[in-house]
Amino acid sequence: MNRADGRGSRGSDTEIGRVVIVGGGTAGWMAAAAFSRFLNNGRRRITVVESDAIGTVGVGEATIPPILAFNNILDINENEFLRVTRVTFKAGIEFVNWGRVGDRYFHPFGFYGHDLHGIAFHQLWLREAMRAGGPGAGSDIAHYCMSAQAAALRRFARPGPTAKPPLNQLLYAFHFDASLYAQFLRKIAERQGAERREGRIVKVHRDGTSGDVLAVELEGGERVEGDLFIDCSGFRALLIEQELKAGWHDWSHWLPCDAAIAVPTALTGPPDPFTRATAHEAGWQWRIPLQHRMGNGMVFASRFGDEDAARAVLLANLEGEVLAEPRTIRFATGRRKASWSHNVVALGLSAGFVEPLESTSIHLIQNGIQRLLALFPGKPISPLERDEYNRGMGELYDDLRDFVILHYKATQRDDSELWRYVRDMEVPDSLARKMELWRLHGRVFREGHELFGTVSWVAVMLGQNLWPEAYDTIADSLDEAKVAEAMARMREDYRKAAEALPDQEQFLRMAGAWAAEEMAA
């Protein structure tokens, strides 16, 4: 029997020496890249166990801006990353048909205008719009956002560190090829000393007294022993659930979509610098442009519509030539009651899934990694540090859940069972409170470490026709004519700055980050 322990004298009685990452999807290789960078200083061994025969979920190609911070801590050369993983930029998400069929709005990264005398910009905008006659009157709030303006013109350039306003408000994230991303991170992790074991795990060995995991056993008998196990086994949740039964908070009554059909197509034009999410009768369709193809998929709720119908709607709404067989992926929405149990920390799909509407899963992996590094345990593991991790992760998941539920709840659609169900459903108290605060005076407060801030909530609520009854009267403390003048200047500044940008393909080529030549080779 081969043993993967015993080599080198890593760790000690009080120090975790062997970290075993179970799974080599996006979660596994993100964890391996980060842990080998920060924990592998001669004292710890980082091992990734993955099975080519099982493979990865193979989706997950849109991100949100904090991914830039993850690249930074890994010292990733951004242009190389852009080229190798076929990145296009993402300035936000265009939502089509969500409030009512025919509606269209943009949820941008970044800011709406800027506050005046400490008064929130959206309150000044609401005053102007309400005085002009309410919904649809006055100026478009997207005209006060750098990212939204760039996206509307299909332009993009990365603002450098010395960029001046308003260009420095152009926040962005990436669309990338998920399998190329995992390969890219694998190279980094292996260069930093992480080891890889290929094989299917067939058995888990536990300590009879503590219940901790001691080793995973591969087909053929090889045992990989560890002090800390990172469960990145995807929806299988091999250690955290199959073995440790950490428990599950089920969200399917709030987020009823439970399946997706994914299919790549050829590009029909230059890639857009944004994701599109189009609502259909039984679910919604994603459109994620990459340098070399378009990622598409239909997310649907199987209790409100069958797979054949979902596939037919997806295929009828594609723009380019289909490049591969459509693939169905089943999922459940919810999260583990504890993503850290015993000496196992779940990251990625094994820890939970909010559904892909706001592209939050990769962020949850990143956040889990950074949180674990900040709370990295000794031996024995302190319950306090473990509880702190679980408390923080739980809050993060629940906040994201509320924001995603908002997109469903705030619909006026009446054309199918799915939309009637979500429109009429009870929502979590935390979301009901937020929606009521908005309804009264358009107020939004970012709480604790919430990921999505005021701009996001305002974009979705206004975009889906939830208008407050009144604006905050504090807006009346500023002279209306002067505010109108300042707002006109802001609009002009954003428009001019957006018009001066190149299109993103041009920008990527200039940065040496366009992979077309490699693709043609």
Nearer to ligand FAD, 217 or 505 (CB): 217
Q: Is 348 in the site for ligand FAD (CB under 6 A)?
A: yes
Residue 306 half-sphere exposure toward CB, CA atoms < 13 A: 2
Q: Is 233 in the site for ligand FAD (CB under 6 A)?
A: yes
Report the SS3 class of residue 235: helix
Nearer to ligand FAD, 358 or 402 (CB): 358
8 A C-beta contact, residue 27 and residue 181 = no
Q: Is 229 in the site for ligand FAD (CB under 6 A)?
A: no
Nearer to ligand FAD, 271 or 468 (CB): 271
Nearer to ligand FAD, 22 or 338 (CB): 22
Q: Which of residues 168-207 bind ligand FAD (CB under 6 A)?
A: 178, 200-201
Of 17, 24, 65, 256, which lies in the binding site for ligand FAD, with binding defined by CB under 6 A? 24
Nearer to ligand FAD, 95 or 331 (CB): 331
Of 192, 278, 361, 411, which lies in the binding site for ligand FAD, with binding defined by CB under 6 A? 361
Q: How far apart are the first and last CA of the chain?
A: 44
Nearer to ligand FAD, 60 or 138 (CB): 60
8 A C-beta contact, residue 64 and residue 358 = yes
Report the SS3 class of residue 62: strand
Of 23, 99, 159, 377, which lies in the binding site for ligand FAD, with binding defined by CB under 6 A? 23
Of 10, 11, 20, 26, which lies in the binding site for ligand FAD, with binding defined by CB under 6 A? 26
| ∠ CA 161-162-165, rounded to 5° | 110
Stretch in the footprint of ligand FAD (CB under 6 A) among 165-173, 226-234, 264-272, 418-426:
226-234
Nearer to ligand FAD, 121 or 286 (CB): 286
Q: Is 62 in the site for ligand FAD (CB under 6 A)?
A: yes
Q: Give me the least distance between CB of 388 and ligand FAD, in Å please.
A: 23
Q: Give me the least distance between CB of 216 and ligand FAD, in Å please.
A: 8
Q: Is 57 in the site for ligand FAD (CB under 6 A)?
A: yes
Nearer to ligand FAD, 5 or 177 (CB): 177
Q: Is 60 in the site for ligand FAD (CB under 6 A)?
A: yes
Report the C-alpha gap between 14 and 380 in whole angstroms.
7
8 A C-beta contact, residue 280 and residue 287 = no
8 A C-beta contact, residue 357 and residue 333 = no
Q: Is 55 in the site for ligand FAD (CB under 6 A)?
A: yes
Name residues whose C-beta falls within 8 Å of residue 204's C-beta, 6 or more positions apart in sequence.
213, 215, 216, 217, 238, 239, 242, 243
DSSP conformation letters of 170-205? ---EEE--HHHHHHHHHHHHHHTT-EEEES-EEEEE
Q: Give me the least distance between CB of 310 and ligand FAD, in Å please.
A: 12
Of 147, 339, 359, 366, which lies in the binding site for ligand FAD, with binding defined by CB under 6 A? 359
Report the C-alpha gap between 83 and 428 in whole angstroms.
42
Q: Which of residues 128-157 bind ligand FAD (CB under 6 A)?
A: none
8 A C-beta contact, residue 20 and residue 44 = no
**Site size for ligand FAD, by CB under 6 A?**
37
Q: Which of residues 261-300 bind ligand FAD (CB under 6 A)?
A: 297
Q: Is 400 in the site for ligand FAD (CB under 6 A)?
A: no
Nearest to 198 by CA among 420, 4, 432, 444: 4
Report the SS3 class of residue 332: coil
| Annotation marks residue 482 as catalytic | no
Residue 431 half-sphere exposure toward CB, CA atoms < 13 A: 20
Stretch in the footprint of ligand FAD (CB under 6 A) among 46-54, 98-106, 439-447, 488-496:
46-54
Name residues whose C-beta falls within 8 Å of residue 488's C-beta, 6 or more positions apart in sequence.
none
Nearest to 334 by CA among 251, 421, 222: 251
| Strand segments (E) across 83-170 | 88-90, 92-96, 104-108
Q: Is 51 in the site for ligand FAD (CB under 6 A)?
A: yes
Q: Is 331 in the site for ligand FAD (CB under 6 A)?
A: yes
Of 110, 256, 356, 377, which lies in the binding site for ligand FAD, with binding defined by CB under 6 A? 356
Q: Give me the least distance between CB of 492 and ligand FAD, in Å please.
A: 34
- Dig out the tokens for 221 from the structure: 């008998």
8 A C-beta contact, residue 138 and residue 132 = yes
Name the residues that contact ligand FAD, by CB under 6 A: 23-28, 49-51, 54-57, 59-63, 178, 200-201, 232-234, 236, 238, 260, 297, 329, 331, 348-350, 356, 359, 361-362
- Catalytic machinery residues: 90
